[in-house]
Structure 1
Amino acid sequence: MIEKKDISIVIADDHPMILRGLNEELMTNEYNVVGQAVNGMQALELLLTLKPDVALLDIDMPLLTGFEVVKMAKEKQIATKFILLSFHKENDYISQAKALQINGYLLKEDSFSDIENCIQRVLKNEECFSSAFEAASLESVSEDLKRIKHLTSSEKTILKLVAQQMSSNEIAETLFISIRTVEKHRSNIITKLEIENTTNALTNWAYFHRNVIKEL
């Protein structure tokens, strides 16, 4: 196990009390907190400058969300392990985290021992999601993402527009293709995603997964 004092950590949260409390817990337990941020832009700057071992990030922050911070940091190819801390339990948030291959996702109601365990696990390249998430939900999200990856580039383009709640006519006009071609793509997408072929089923599915789909 890596010594706590050798683990460099950046923390970010726009709630001062939460940020201060997290910092005090980490420092008391001898972790090396190298930076604190109160918004997403500041967090990104710290990550790119300090390149810490671990970043503990709130999701809902001003300027940049935790998801946006992770995406932009990964584009710069820094080796930091990311753990999100949030109140959000919805599958949509879990899907975004998995789509971005974020290492850990904990709830703010989780204990500090959960945070410590998660830090050690992500440093071993293990995935760590809060025990409050149902295993079935995590598996369902993982299966959805696997199916999305099987789509062709054309089908992904169509799916992105469906997620914006565009009609087949609007998609055809936007992409300069026939409505028949759009409908064929929609049919293939429904089959590959294993969605029930009912009215508005694909539109509803795409809208629910819109934050994941936009990353395709």
Structure 2
Amino acid sequence: MIKMILAEDQAMLNSALTAILNLEDDLEVVGSYESGIVAWEQIQKQVPDIALLDIEMPQMTGLQIAQKINDEHLSTKSIILTTFANKSYFEQAVAAEVAGYLLKDSSSDDLISAIHQIMAGKVLYAPELVQSVLSGIANPLTVQEQNVLAGIAAGWTTAEISQKLFLSNGTVRNYISAILSKLAAKNRIEAVHVAQTQGWL
């Protein structure tokens, strides 16, 4: 059973999310709170598997809770649920090592799927949010990552990229994994599209 605490100051959304999540056989909301400070107190007491956190709440924000969870080395995984594509918020979430940064208007099925993936060890950031935040900021890719992505854009295979850039296949795969993560891309084609759209390729 995956135990969760929900911190959301909009009462209607709080109740709706709690009801939806509790319908799942392997999910249980063990507490839902409209105050950030109360949610943090309960997280310390119960140490749930997941903390679903709104950003803007009274007394303590979801980002502050996520940072405290990280600072205290709790086993709880933080998931930020937000409507804000805000660069500062996103940077704070990454610094707090949140496991998920998701949109509130995602479907309940997407949220439930995300919870299961995060419990399996994945880190999930909504691509729409990441790309919005990335817009207008410096290229996050290193020179070698750009070279690898240029090879992908040219239609080269991993083996061809390896040969042309004098890298091992494993190193190329590591670069590709880093590129997908930095650009919040699901696959190589999407990574090329994001980089070209931003003028980084």
Please state which band the TM-score falls in when normalised by the shorter chain. Answer: 0.5 to 0.7
In structure 1, the residue matched to 2:54 is 58
Contact kept in structure 1, 2:86 and 2:133, CA below 8 Å = no
User: Which of 20, 26, 30 in structure 2 is aligned with 1:25?
Assistant: 20
Which stretches in structure 2 are left out of the alignment for 5+ residues?
Answer: 143-201
User: Which of 97, 104, 107 in structure 1 is aligned with 2:103?
Assistant: 107
Which aligned segments of 4 or more residues in structure 1 are displaced greater than 4 angstroms?
A: 134-142
**TM-score normalised by the chain length of structure 1:** 0.59
Q: Alignment RMSD, CA only?
A: 2.4
CA distance 1:13–1:49, shift in 2 (3 Å): same
Give the AA of the match of 1:41: I
Give the AA of the match of 1:15: Q
Give the AA of the match of 1:117: S
In structure 1, the residue matched to 2:186 is none
User: Do residues 132 (structure 1) and 91 (structure 2) align?
Assistant: no
Q: SS in structure 2 opposite 1:36? A: strand
CA distance 1:80–1:141, shift in 2 (3 Å): farther
CA distance in 1, matches of 2:138, 2:101: 14
Contact kept in structure 2, 1:91 and 1:141, CA below 8 Å = no
Contact kept in structure 1, 2:85 and 2:133, CA below 8 Å = no
Which stretches in structure 1 are left out of the alignment for 5+ residues?
Answer: 1-5, 147-216
What is the Cα deviation at residue 131 of structure 1? 3.6
CA distance in 1, matches of 2:20, 2:104: 14
**TM-score normalised by the chain length of structure 2:** 0.63
CA distance 1:64–1:143, shift in 2 (3 Å): same
What is the Cα deviation at residue 116 of structure 1? 1.1
Contact kept in structure 1, 2:3 and 2:48, CA below 8 Å = yes
CA distance in 1, matches of 2:60, 2:110: 26
In structure 2, the residue matched to 1:14 is 9
Contact kept in structure 1, 2:70 and 2:97, CA below 8 Å = no
For 1:32-181, list aligned pairs within 5 A: 32-135=28-131, 137=133, 143=140
Q: SS in structure 2 opposite 1:62? A: coil
CA distance in 2, matches of 1:62, 1:142: 35
* Count of residue correspondences: 140
1:91-135 Cα offsets, whole Å, 9 max, x none, are: 222211112111101111111112112111211221101242355
CA distance in 2, matches of 1:141, 1:34: 42
1:171-194 Cα offsets, whole Å, 9 max, x none, are: xxxxxxxxxxxxxxxxxxxxxxxx
Q: Greater CA deviation, 132-141 or 39-48?
A: 132-141
Give the AA of the match of 1:13: E
Contact kept in structure 2, 1:97 and 1:105, CA below 8 Å = yes
